[in-house]
Amino acid sequence: MRVLLTGGAGYIGSHAAVELLEQGHDVIVMDNLANSSSASIRKVEKITSRSVELHVADLTDSARTDEVFAAARVDAVVHFAGFKAVGESIRHPLDYYRNNLDSTLVLLGAMARHGVRKLVFSSSATVYEEPSDRPISECSRSGLSLANPYGRTKAIIEQILADVATADPSLEISILRYFNPVGAHESGLIGEDPRGIPNNLMPYVSQVASGAREYVAVFGDSYDTPDGTGVRDYIHVMDLAAGHVAALERLSPGVETFNLGTGHGSSVLDVIRTYSDVSGKPVPYRRVPARHGDVASSVADVAKAQQQLGWRTTRTLEDACRDSWRWQSGNPSGYSDEG
């Protein structure tokens, strides 16, 4: 298939591009490069020895999006594009609603006009309300009663997709709810390159290990977990990428929703200790008060993805830390090292 990746130059998109190319698909990337770099696409081409068709364009621009669809002859879309920082969404909610919803509406309009019926949507475990069950299944409570606008945009988009699929039964849509993507490609050529202060734990730990930051702030110490720190389901980004290919290749009419995680939880201190061990670098940390809205534990029930997609993770937290360190130590300034 000729697969369009919206936001495909970003962290998860670039790793998905590698997996798609290695599985024999053609990849077209549409990205405005506001929070990514074209260097990631050059690295993807180096890893796979295949070319990627890159269109520098903003998905909220309907006319430009139509041009990309007309030029690229798209068979299917994987929709990554969107703002994704929880804290930023609380400070700038209108930006998140405008960008994430408008880009999706423009995309769906272009797909309809150009006869594209296959879509995989990059959603998030943030759509789940604070769960009472562990692990979290696709049937766990989700919706708009969430702690942040980012999660609400994902929940709204999921509802939009359900509505358009009801109106057009020929649409084939998979919604993938990610838990906590971490790591990098094993080559060390592509990885997570946050702008400014990282919003996620692993890149923050990486920067502390490299000496770029002084310490990791560990939020809270009295959660109902083995060591008092928050527990999350950390999935290696290449396992996540493989989940996208599995979902794409098993699309069928209607909408299906899948959790993508490992089914196992690790605490913040587990991640810090593991990263210190595999990198050989001390990762100092300091305890700070817990943040409002943080939950003690968030771990995926992945039985549905395993059964219906034939997909399961193969990489460990140690693998993720090792690959993350290879990327960080080889690219201390991220893609800006490329010039």
pLDDT digits (tens, 9 = 90+) for 65-74: 999 999 999 9
Q: Name all contacts of 222-228 with Cβ < 8 Å and 24+ positions apart.
A: 222/290, 223/290, 223/296, 223/297, 224/296, 224/297, 225/267, 225/296, 225/297, 226/267, 227/267, 227/269, 227/270
pLDDT digits (tens, 9 = 90+) for 288-339: 999 877 888 999 999 999 999 999 999 999 999 999 999 999 999 999 866 4
What is the overall mean pLDDT for the chain? 95
Residues labelled catalytic: 150
Quote the pLDDT of residue 132. 54
Structure tokens given for 283: 């990762």
pLDDT of 54 > 60? The answer is: yes
Quote the pLDDT of residue 69. 98
232-239: average pLDDT: 98
Quote the pLDDT of residue 133. 56
pLDDT of 3 > 90? The answer is: yes
Domain architecture of the chain: domains with CATH? 2-338 (3.40.50.720)
Label residue 286 by pLDDT band (50, 70, 90). very high
258 forms bridges with which residues in the sheet? 176
177-200: average pLDDT: 94
Quote the pLDDT of residue 291. 82
111-140 burial, b at 16+ Cβ within 10 Å, e below that, comes to beeeebbbbbbbbbbbbbbebeeebbebeb
195 forms bridges with which residues in the sheet? none
pLDDT digits (tens, 9 = 90+) for 86-109: 889 999 999 999 999 999 999 999
3-class secondary structure, 14: helix
Quote the pLDDT of residue 294. 82
pLDDT of 190 > 90? The answer is: yes
Q: Would you mind telling me the total number of residues written for the chain in this entry?
A: 339
Whether 82 contacts 7, CB under 8 Å:
yes
5 forms bridges with which residues in the sheet? 29, 78
Q: How far apart (Å, rounded) are the C-alpha atoms in residues 264 and 336?
A: 34
pLDDT digits (tens, 9 = 90+) for 139-154: 988 877 677 899 999 9
The percent of residues above 90 in pLDDT, for the chain, comes to 89
What's the distance, CA 279 to chain centroid? 24
Quote the pLDDT of residue 162. 98
Quote the pLDDT of residue 336. 85
Residue indicated by tokens 């730990």? 205
